[in-house]
Amino acid sequence: MSRKSWLSQDWILKPKFIKNMRQKELIRILGKEKCLFSREDTACYAFDAGHDKGRPPAAVVFPESVQEVSAVMAFAHGQNIPVIPRGAGSGLTGGAVPGKKGIVLSLARMNKILELDSQNLCAVVETGVVTSDLQAAAQKQGLFYPPDPASQDISTIGGNIAENAGGMRAVKYGVTKAYVLGLEVVLPDGKIITLGSKCIKDVAGYSMTELFVGSEGTLGLITKAIIKLIPLPQTVRTLALCFDSMEGAGRAVPEIFKAGVIPCTLEFIDADCLKAVRQAGLMETSRAFVHDDTRAMLLVEVDGKARQVEEDALSIKRICEKFGMLSQKQADSREDRDNLWHVRRSIHGALSFLSDQWMEEDISVPPAAIPEMLTGLGRLARKENLRIPCFGHYGDGNIHLSATGLNTPLSSSREPAIRRQIFSLAVNLGGRIAAEHGIGIAKKEYLGMNLDKDTLDLARQLKNMLDPASLLNPGKIFPGQK
């Protein structure tokens, strides 16, 4: 064989040789049982719960300790291999979708609650812990972890932190960042850093913990967290308040707050969403709570000490009577409460009974601007011949909306223009293009609508400082990046 043909043959075999070498090194670091390489095994890690799809990764790994995470990151850094962090894959904006063929690093097996400290009102957890598992464990100790994203039964604490997840209780208790006291983080080169502590007052050096909250896995892999807990409320009351218009419901909300009542949840559901739930047959157990002529429903919960809760519930009812309230019902049992929340949590699935294709968005405006935002969405729907049902967290200004054509689904070619019009409406009211679902792939080209050039440049500088080769979750958040 000539030298030329040998070199040619070597060049053909080289990629396979490198692939095998890398697989062997990952197996050496983790063990064969913690690695997946075949396309059949890795294909389901090419997407998350949103609409964006990526390519099957070259490998999926399941480390079980921070040392193993560090070793994988150091190896990937040395080999110039992209790493895509993944929790439960329940995100909706493509944050865990591989944009480049690399290693998906799942933290699902790092799922231990390491400590429940009832004296200092906190928990120390690995970040693969499922959100509802932490809530249940805290409740057994008479404690409370308030963030409640809709995906709480499958989403993980690490994913919640990376997305700064919210939920329905955010109006009173805030979002995830309010409960993160400290973090253990593996940087892109494999270094392990610890941030924060159990101390309420902690000014030892820069306060860097929040830098990684909401960073969507682009700056470091969160492997452990110190989570703040609070005492479990004594009692909860759930109210279903039905109105003849969204305007009436909107006028009632600020009056509730002015009266000194801070609900733990204050949700709104519009007529189209209620219609979808009815058509899906998912309202049978809650039919007595929803007036037939309802154009807007507020689902409100108050919690705290029993006497105060009863006073707050009575105040809410009296206020709403002034603004076109058709009916008010109080859930008198846990079953009634669960049935009401089933209506709210069923909306996404139920919309498929109105159309089999929707463009879904998650935006935020100052709470007082919600009526104007909904009016603007109504104008947009009429102008573009769309149906835009809306629901969400009225108390904190978070609107979940879906859009489709009146007679045919919204074409993919029309979606970007419609999305930009929706975002423009929100931004003009002082709002944001994302509320609790992150930026990921889906919204990165619109981020400049909220952040000016200098702010974006500073964010890029931080990314480049920690990850100069852009190997950690590449192609996310920043406009123009692939």
Query: Do residues 145 and 227 touch, judged by C-beta distance below 8 A?
Result: yes
Instruction: Name residue 363's beta-bridge partners.
Output: 399
Cβ-based burial of 391 (10 A; exposed 0-12, middle 13-18, buried ≥19): buried
Whether 301 maps to a domain, the answer reads: yes
Residue type present at position 245: S
Pair (381, 297) in one structural domain: yes
d(Cα 380, Cα 26) in Å, to the nearest integer?
Answer: 52
Pair (187, 259) in one structural domain: no
Work out whether strand 221-228 and strand 143-144 pair parallel, antiparallel, or are unpaired: unpaired
Residue type present at position 372: E
Pair (302, 367) in one structural domain: yes
3-state secondary structure of 379: helix
Pair (404, 303) in one structural domain: yes
pLDDT digits (tens, 9 = 90+) for 224-277: 999 999 999 999 999 999 999 999 999 999 999 999 999 999 999 999 999 999
d(Cα 313, Cα 307) in Å, to the nearest integer?
Answer: 10
Q: What is the mean pLDDT of residues 321-334?
A: 93
Q: What average pLDDT does the chain have?
A: 93
Q: What share of the chain is helix, strand, coil (3-state, %, to 5)?
A: 40, 20, 35
3-state secondary structure of 255: helix
- CB atoms near residue 135 (< 10 Å): 18
Whether 123 maps to a domain, the answer reads: yes
Structural domain including 34 reads 3-106
Instruction: Name residue 144's beta-bridge partners.
Output: 230
Instruction: Name 44's Cβ contacts closer than 8 Å, sequence gap at least 6.
Output: none
Whether 271 maps to a domain, the answer reads: yes
Whether 421 maps to a domain, the answer reads: yes
Q: What is the mean pLDDT of residues 319-337?
A: 93
3-state secondary structure of 186: strand
Q: Max CA-CA distance within the chain?
A: 93
Query: Do residues 48 and 90 touch, judged by C-beta distance below 8 A?
Result: yes
Pair (310, 266) in one structural domain: yes
pLDDT at 13: 45
DSSP codes, 118-159: TTTTEEEEETTSBHHHHHHHHHHTTEE---B-TTTTT-BHHH
Pair (261, 396) in one structural domain: yes
Q: Of 381, 411, 428, at which residue does a domain stop?
A: 428
User: Could you tell me the CATH number of the domain that includes residue 158?
Assistant: 3.30.465.10
Q: What is the mean pLDDT of residues 34-42?
A: 95
Pair (260, 356) in one structural domain: yes
Q: What is the phi-psi region of residue 217: left when phi exceeds 0, alpha when psi lies from -120 to 50, beta otherwise?
A: left
Alpha-carbon distance values, 45 to 40, 57, 399 (Å): 10, 7, 29
d(Cα 41, Cα 91) in Å, to the nearest integer?
Answer: 20
User: Could you tell me the CATH number of the domain that includes residue 58?
Assistant: 3.30.43.10
The two tokens of residue 113 are 């609650």
pLDDT digits (tens, 9 = 90+) for 63-94: 999 999 999 999 999 999 999 999 999 999 99
How many domains, in total, are found in the chain? 3
d(Cα 428, Cα 379) in Å, to the nearest integer?
Answer: 15
Q: Of 75, 106, 137, at which residue does a domain stop?
A: 106
User: Could you tell me the CATH number of the domain that includes residue 251?
Assistant: 3.40.462.40
Q: What is the phi-psi region of residue 174: left when phi exceeds 0, alpha when psi lies from -120 to 50, beta otherwise?
A: left
Q: Is the pLDDT of residue 1 over 60?
A: no
Whether 463 maps to a domain, the answer reads: no
Query: Do residues 387 and 403 touch, judged by C-beta distance below 8 A?
Result: yes
Q: Is the pLDDT of residue 2 over 50?
A: no
Instruction: Name residue 194's beta-bridge partners.
Output: 184
Block residue for tokens 């894959």? 89
pLDDT at 6: 37
Residue 310: phi and psi, rounded to 5, are -65, -40
The two tokens of residue 360 are 């879904």
Instruction: Name residue 143's beta-bridge partners.
Output: 231
Q: Is the pLDDT of residue 365 over 50?
A: yes
Work out whether strand 143-144 and strand 192-196 pair parallel, antiparallel, or are unpaired: unpaired
Q: Is the pLDDT of residue 476 over 50?
A: yes
Residue 269: enclosing H or E segment and its boundaries? Answer: strand 265-270
| Higher per-residue confidence, 21 vs 394 | 394
pLDDT at 386: 96
The two tokens of residue 105 are 């690093």
Instruction: Name 466's Cβ contacts closer than 8 Å, sequence gap at least 6.
Output: 187, 188, 219, 220
Pair (223, 251) in one structural domain: no
Query: Do residues 106 and 221 touch, judged by C-beta distance below 8 A?
Result: no
Alpha-carbon distance values, 198 to 182, 297, 310 (Å): 7, 41, 35
* pLDDT bracket for residue 155 (50, 70, 90): very high
Whether 433 maps to a domain, the answer reads: no
d(Cα 126, Cα 224) in Å, to the nearest integer?
Answer: 4
Q: Is the pLDDT of residue 5 over 50?
A: no
The two tokens of residue 183 are 């973090």
Pair (199, 266) in one structural domain: no
Whether 422 maps to a domain, the answer reads: yes
Pair (412, 342) in one structural domain: yes
d(Cα 40, Cα 37) in Å, to the nearest integer?
Answer: 8
Pair (252, 348) in one structural domain: yes
The whole-angstrom distance between residue 35's C-alpha and the CA centroid of its chain comes to 27
Query: Do residues 351 and 370 touch, judged by C-beta distance below 8 A?
Result: no
Query: Do residues 42 and 104 touch, judged by C-beta distance below 8 A?
Result: yes
pLDDT at 15: 67
Pair (248, 372) in one structural domain: yes
3-state secondary structure of 471: coil
Q: Is the pLDDT of residue 211 over 70?
A: yes
Q: Of 428, 452, 474, at which residue does a domain stop?
A: 428
Q: How many CA atoms lie within 13 A of 455 on its CB side?
A: 6
Q: Could you give the angle at the alpha carbon of 169 between the alpha carbons of 165 and 171, nearest 5°?
A: 95
Whether 480 maps to a domain, the answer reads: no
Q: What is the mean pLDDT of residues 43-59?
A: 91
Q: Is the pLDDT of residue 304 over 80?
A: yes
Q: Kindly report the length of the chain.
A: 482
